[in-house]
Amino acid sequence: MFLEQAIKPENHFVKYILGLFIIFLASLIGQIPLLVAIQYKTMNSDMASPVTQEDLFKVFDSNIMLVLMLLSFVFVLVATLLVVKYWHRQPVLTIITSRKKIDWKRILFSFSIWGFLTTFFLVLSYWMEPSNFIINFEWKPFLILVVVGVIFIPIPTTAEELVFRGYLMQGFANWVPNRWFPLLMTSLVFGALHFYNPEVAKTGNVIMIYYIGTGLFLGILTLMDEGTELALGFHAANNLFGALLVTSTWTAFQTHSVLKAIGEPSLIWDILVPVLIIYPILLSIFNLKYGWKSWKEKLTGKLFLNK
C-alpha cells in the first residue's frame, strides 16, 4: 500500500527533514537564472527597488517569465528523485504509486475530466458575466504559450505532488503511523507555502481555505487510490488550462491566455464552491469509476511497519 511501503525503521522523520533541506537548496539553485535576469533588468531599466511581480511582467515577455519562474521546479523534481533513491535507498516508484508501474490511464482520465470542467466553468462564467473579462487572445504568443505550457507546466505540478502527496506524506507517516495525520499535515503545509502568492494579497487570507482545501482533496485522492496518479493529472490540468484560458493582473501566472479577468474574485464562486461542492463531486466520480472501498480505514486507519 502507498504509505506502508515507506514505513521502515531506518526512515526516521529527521531523515525526511534533511531530505527536504536538500530539496529546498535545489530550489534555490534553480532560482538563480530568474534572479540574474531580474538583476540585469533592474540595472538596465527604470524599475524601482524592490521589484514587484507586476514590474517583472512589464519588462519580461510573459512566456519568458513563465519559463524562468518554473525553472526551479526542474531542480526540485530532480532533487526529490535523487533524495528518494540515494538518501532513503528506495525505488522512485514508491513515492509515485503502490502499483507495479505508473498507471498513465489514471493520469489521463483525471487530467481530461478536470480540463473539461475547467473549460466548461470558464465558458459559463464568461456567458453569465462577460463584463468581467476582456479578450486577450493573440495567435503567435498564444501558440508559444501552448508549447511552453505543455513542456514546462507539468514539471512543477509533478514536483509538488511528489514532494507533498508522495515524499512528505510518507515522511509524516513514518513519524505518526496513521493516515489522518499525514493527510492533515501535508494539506496544511501545502496551503501555507501558497501564503505569499499574489492571490492572497488580492483576496485576503480567506483564500487559504481554497489552498488547504485543495491540498486535502489531493491527499484524499492519493490515499483512496493508493497512488498519486489522479492527483498528478488533476494538478497538471488545473495549472495548464488555467494558464492557457484565463489570466489576470493579480495571479501568480500572467500569460498570453485567451481571456483576461478584470472583475473582482468571488469568495463564493472562486473559493467556497470548488472546495465544498466541486471537489466532493469529483471524489464521487472517481469513486464510481475505481470502486473505492473502506473510506474510513483508508483516511484515518493505523499504519504498520513494513519489515
For the CA atoms of 81, 104, 145, 60, the dihedral, rounded to the nearest 10 degrees, stands at -20
pLDDT of residue 144: 92
pLDDT of residue 58: 58
Q: State the average pLDDT over residues 246-250.
A: 82
| Residues with Cβ within 8 Å of residue 212, at least 6 apart in sequence | 187, 188, 190, 191
The separation between the first and the last C-alpha atoms of the chain, rounded to the nearest angstrom, is 13
pLDDT of residue 223: 98
Q: Which residue has the higher pLDDT, 27 or 41?
A: 27
- Cα(147)–Cα(107) distance, rounded to whole angstroms? 20
Pairing between β-strand 246-247 and β-strand 259-261 as defined by DSSP bridges:
parallel
Q: State the average pLDDT over residues 211-219.
A: 97
Segment among 23-32, 37-46, 113-122, 267-276 with least mean pLDDT:
37-46
Q: How confident is the model at residue 227 (pLDDT cuts 50, 70, 90)?
A: very high
Q: Which residues pair with 178 in a beta bridge?
A: 302
- Cα(208)–Cα(204) distance, rounded to whole angstroms? 8
pLDDT of residue 105: 98
CA 195, distance to chain mean position in Å, is 14
| Cα dist from 211 to 56, 137, 182, 188, 207, whole Å | 25, 28, 17, 9, 7
| 223: nearest Cα among 251, 184, 254 | 184
- Spell out the domain ranges in the chain: 4-300
Mean pLDDT of the chain: 90
pLDDT of residue 226: 97
pLDDT of residue 152: 92
Q: How confident is the model at residue 295 (pLDDT cuts 50, 70, 90)?
A: very high
Q: State the average pLDDT over residues 234-242.
A: 96
| 73: nearest Cα among 135, 184, 183, 156 | 156
- Cα(44)–Cα(186) distance, rounded to whole angstroms? 42
Q: Which residue has the higher pLDDT, 187 or 58?
A: 187
| Residues with Cβ within 8 Å of residue 247, at least 6 apart in sequence | 136, 253, 254, 255, 257, 259, 260, 261
Q: How confident is the model at residue 52 (pLDDT cuts 50, 70, 90)?
A: low
pLDDT of residue 157: 97
pLDDT of residue 204: 85
For the CA atoms of 59, 62, 66, 67, the dihedral, rounded to the nearest 10 degrees, stands at -80
pLDDT of residue 288: 97
**Locate cell 514508491: which residue?**
94
Q: Tell me: the pLDDT tens digits for 98-157?
A: 999 999 999 999 999 999 999 999 999 999 999 999 999 999 999 999 999 999 999 999
Q: State the average pLDDT over residues 47-61.
A: 58
- Cα(272)–Cα(280) distance, rounded to whole angstroms? 12
Q: Which helix (H) or strand (E) holds 260?
A: strand 259-261
3-state secondary structure of 130: helix
Whether the per-residue pLDDT at 251 is higher than 80: the answer is: no
Q: What is the C-alpha radius of gyration for the chain, rounded to an integer number of angstroms?
A: 20
pLDDT of residue 35: 85
pLDDT of residue 240: 95
Q: How confident is the model at residue 63 (pLDDT cuts 50, 70, 90)?
A: confident
Segment among 164-178, 244-258, 263-277 with least mean pLDDT:
244-258
Whether the per-residue pLDDT at 49 is higher than 60: the answer is: no
Other CB atoms within 10 Å distance of the CB of residue 271: 19
